[in-house]
Chains A and B, each alone.
Chain A
Amino acid sequence: MFRFVVRRMLWAIPLLILISFMAFSAVRASTDPVAAFKRANPRTTLEQLEVYKKEKGLTGSIPAQYVHWVKTFVKGDLGTSIKTNKPVATDLKRALANSVTLGLFASSFAVPIGLGIGVLAAKKQYSFFDSFATTSAFVGVSIPPFISGVLLKLLFAIGFTKWFHLDKPFLPTAGIYPPGHVGFDLVLRVKHMILPAIVLAIQTIAVYSRLMRASLLEVMNSDYMRTARAKGISETRVLVKHALRNAFIPVVNFGALDIGSIVGGLIITEVIFEQKGMGNFFLVALANGDYPQLMPYIVIVVISVIVFNLLADLANGWLDPRIRLG
């Protein structure tokens, strides 16, 4: 097991370097920090520009620039935003916190519900519940979150208010707190998370229930299930120790990657419901050509992709001995 872990980790490092370099190049190629800097500071002279360029390591070949950037990043210096002149680190931290909060909040109920539905649907295959669950899941997965998000927002911002003659929307559709609110208020915070969480939950429940159901069905049709029953052990034990134990493998595999993607921000939902998370952060930075904000974001995303990929791999290896030793 140990050797497996080490082997996998060794793969991760060159992968990390490669992908971050690719991302770096993509960002450098797609944005012009010098132009952005000029836009933000219209009165800089050419000399000041040159100094700026040298300082930020924007001269020289792409690989050299990459190395320079890595050095500063590793030291913990994330630079300051071109647009706002505020240090990137503070904004980034807050954005990350918001995204993680929303993502975990939604996952905390959506994943168990999805799994539960999947297990039930598999156990009662062909029942009405199963047909209903399967079709619903299919619909849930088919609707891009963008559409469900906008529809929900429309419904709650305008629809319900009009039809029920409310003076303000039944559920908030924007922001993480009402405008002008300061400090921490649990109820308000949660209220503002409900709609975006629902949008996320639709997708999550649909995906996890399909996956769990498919996986469990495949397992239940395996020969070793028949052997397990032939032993005369209790149905619960058969389900838990034999069926679920095997069925969970692809689910965990998927889940690790899925949870990891939260770090990148749930871009669509965040933008539609103005949740000021990582997704929002990224889009604003991109629109502004704000290179110092973009790069740390990209790197964090890449790191999390690789780390969670690694975690998924490791989980796979731990759960499935065939992978570990084969």
Chain B
Amino acid sequence: MADILTPLDAEPELEPTNTDAAEGLVGSVSPGRMAARRFLHHRLAMLSLLVLLFVAVVCILAPLLAPYAENQRVTALAKPLTHPPSQSVHFGTDSIGRDLFSRVMWGGRVSLFIGIAVALSSSIVGTLVGAFSALRGGFIDDVLMRVTDVFIALPLLVFLPLIAQLPTRQKWAASLIGDKGSVRLMITVLSVFAWMPTARIVRGVVLSLKEKEFIEAARAMGAKTRRIILSHLIPNAIGTIVVTASFTVAGAIGTEATLSYFGFGIDPQQASWGNLLTDSKTAIGAGYWWLVLFPVLALLVTVLSVNFLGDGLRDAFDPKQGKS
């Protein structure tokens, strides 16, 4: 149930449709309460932004900041190698004595990179498809939208692992989209299933903009369709695209983690937050709680922050007041 990669649906616009009675008044409450709600919302988004920046900086600077290399065994450790958190190893060590603190940083680098890359590529593809579909209309629009619907309905976790396996068996795939377990493959595979919501949303925006007068005016002045798109439609839709992209980042990070956890993601040699958890079952069984807690917390904090930030962006981009 509930798909991981689908960005959260945009709240429907609360358009006042009745006449003068409701101009800007629908949904208004005492001024104090409205202001309080918006402030709180912003505070959450601001906090998330700070948290995210902190996490991102720490992870990106892993080569400089991490006490140990990715697969380096912590020296001067007594056997057994798995240690709970202590002063020298803040997050503890894993079964082969690697410092978890460092690995979380290294893993974060990979996970964050994947998240952003997927969001970027899927936004671009989605925007192009959506805009093209809306502008062309007619049969092409119908077909594209049906395809989009089908893609959305497909169970992600069934087809993703399948496609993730593809490069092992088919050499042509490997050179095109990356080897099994590589970051490139993960980005490609995730992007293939992440563009649809953006396409849908952009198509909606373009369709509504299509009717607006200034497009007519531009066309009356003889502008070509492509120019019209680039100069008018995209700037208007950019807000929605950015919001969707931010939710996609969160979704991608989560899905990558899930796939890696199952072993269909990033190769274990390269740490990612997901594959740090691959052995969580045995870890829990043996009581090594730190091996599970810290990667999960890192994921939780990051995913939540990105989502809150996206929500804050959505509020910021929406010109209408009183959106709940």
A binding-site residues for B, Cβ under 8 Å: 15, 19, 23, 26-27, 29-32, 103, 107, 125-126, 130-131, 134, 138-139, 141-147, 150-151, 153-154, 157-159, 173, 200, 203-204, 207, 210-211, 214-215, 217-218, 221-223, 226, 257-258, 261-262, 264, 266-268, 271, 279, 282-283, 286-287, 298, 301, 305, 309
Which segment, of B107-115, B127-135, B249-257, faces chain A?
Answer: B249-257
Known: A214-B9, A218-B12, A309-B153. A150 touches B258 (CB 8 A): no
**In whole angstroms, what is the CA distance A26 to B165 when docked?**
10
The reply on B1 being an interface residue by CB < 8 A is yes
Q: What residues of B have a CB within 8 angstroms of the CB of A267 in the complex?
A: 155, 157-158
**Shortest distance from the beta carbon of B52 to any chain A beta carbon, whole Å:** 13
On whether the beta carbons of A305 and B2 are closer than 8 Å, the reply is no
Q: Once the chains are docked, how many angstroms separate the CA of A267 from the CA of B264?
A: 13
Nearest CB on B from A131, distance (A):
6
Interchain CA distance A19-B9 in the complex, whole Å = 26
CA separation between A266 and B264, bound complex, in Å? 17
| Alpha-carbon distance between A144 and B263 when the two chains are bound, in angstroms | 17
- B238 interfacial by beta-carbon distance below 8 Å: no
Give me 17 A-to-B residue pairs in the complex whose CB atoms sit less than 8 angstroms apart, sorted by A's number: A23-B159, A126-B324, A142-B304, A146-B261, A147-B303, A150-B277, A153-B284, A154-B292, A158-B289, A204-B1, A210-B8, A214-B9, A226-B18, A268-B258, A301-B158, A309-B149, A309-B153
Do A222 and B254 have beta carbons less than 8 Å apart?
Answer: no
Q: How far is the CA of A226 from the CA of B154 in the complex (A)?
A: 40
Contact B163 A26 (CB under 8 A): yes
Q: Do B324 and A147 have beta carbons less than 8 Å apart?
A: no
A200 vs B284: C-alpha distance in the bound complex, in angstroms?
21
CA distance A217 to B161 in the complex (A): 39
Chain B: minimal CB distance from A200 (Å)? 6
B162 pairs with A26, CB closer than 8 A:
yes
User: Would B163 and A30 count as touching, CB distance under 8 A?
Assistant: yes
Residue in B168, B299, B311 whose CB lies within 8 Å of A147: B299
Partner of B27, one of A15, A125, A207, A287: A125
Check B12–A264 contact: CB distance below 8 A.
no
Other than the given A30-B165, A146-B261, A150-B277, 14 more pairs (CB < 8 A) read A26-B162, A30-B166, A126-B33, A131-B37, A150-B280, A154-B280, A158-B289, A210-B8, A221-B16, A223-B17, A267-B155, A286-B165, A298-B158, A301-B158
Which listed residue, A142, A151, A264, A287, touches B155 by the CB 8 Å rule? A264
Hey, which chain B residues are within 8 Å of A143, CB to CB? 300, 303-304
Most buried by B among A15, A30, A223: A30
Point out the residues of chain B lying under 8 angstroms from A153, CB to CB.
280, 284
Q: What residues of A have a CB within 8 angstroms of the CB of B209 in the complex?
A: none
**Residue among B15, B165, B287, B289 with the highest chain A CB neighbour number at 10 A:** B165
Which 3 pairs from chain A and chain B are nearest by CB? A144-B254, A142-B307, A30-B165
Q: In the docked arrangement, what's the CA distance between A144 and B277, Å?
A: 14
Q: How large is the interface on B (under 10, 10 to 19, 20 to 34, 35 or more residues)?
A: 35 or more
Interface check B4, CB cutoff 8 A:
yes
Q: What is the bound-complex CA distance between A215 and B154, given in angstroms?
A: 24
What chain B residues lie within 8 Å of A146 (beta carbons)?
Answer: 4, 254, 257-258, 261
Do the beta carbons of A145 and B4 come within 8 Å of each other? yes
User: Contact: B158 with A154, CB < 8 Å?
Assistant: no
Across-interface contacts of B4 in A (CB, < 8 A): 144-146
Q: Does B29 contact A (CB under 8 A)?
A: yes
Q: A217 contacts which chain B residues (CB < 8 A)?
A: 12, 14, 324
Give A182 Cβ to nearest chain B Cβ, in Å: 23
B224 within 8 Å of A by Cβ? no
With contacts A217-B324, A221-B14 taken as known, whether A261 is within 8 angstroms of B155 at the C-beta atoms is yes
Chain B residues whose C-beta falls within 8 Å of the C-beta of A223 in the assembled complex: 17-18
Q: CA separation between A134 and B168, bound complex, in Å?
A: 44
Contact A31 B169 (CB under 8 A): yes
Contacts of B292 in A (CB 8 A): 150, 154
In Å, the complex CA distance between A144 and B307 comes to: 11
Q: Which residues on the A side are within 8 Å of B218 (C-beta)?
A: none
Q: Which residue of A lies closest to B305 (CB)?
A: A142
Q: How far is the CA of A218 from the CA of B169 in the complex (A)?
A: 50
Partner of A151, one of B170, B287, B300: B300
**A217's closest neighbor in chain B, by CB?**
B14
Task: Check B53 for interface membership: any CB of A closer than 8 A.
Answer: no
CB < 8 Å: which of A23, A32, A138, A271 contacts B311? A138
Is B140 part of the binding interface, using a Cβ–Cβ cutoff of 8 Å? no
Please give the distance in Å from B301's CB to the nearest CB on chain A.
10
Contact with A along B260-288 (1 / 0, CB 8 A): 01111000000000000100100011010
Q: Are B12 and A305 in contact (CB under 8 A)?
A: no
Nearest CB of B to A119, in Å:
15
**Assembled-state Cα–Cα distance A115/B6 (Å):** 20
Give the distance in Å from the alpha carbon of A51 to the alpha carbon of B78 in the complex: 56
Taking a contact as CB atoms under 8 Å apart, the answer to whether B324 and A31 are in contact is: no
Q: Is the CB of A283 within 8 A of B161?
A: yes
Chain A residue at smallest Cβ distance from B22? A221
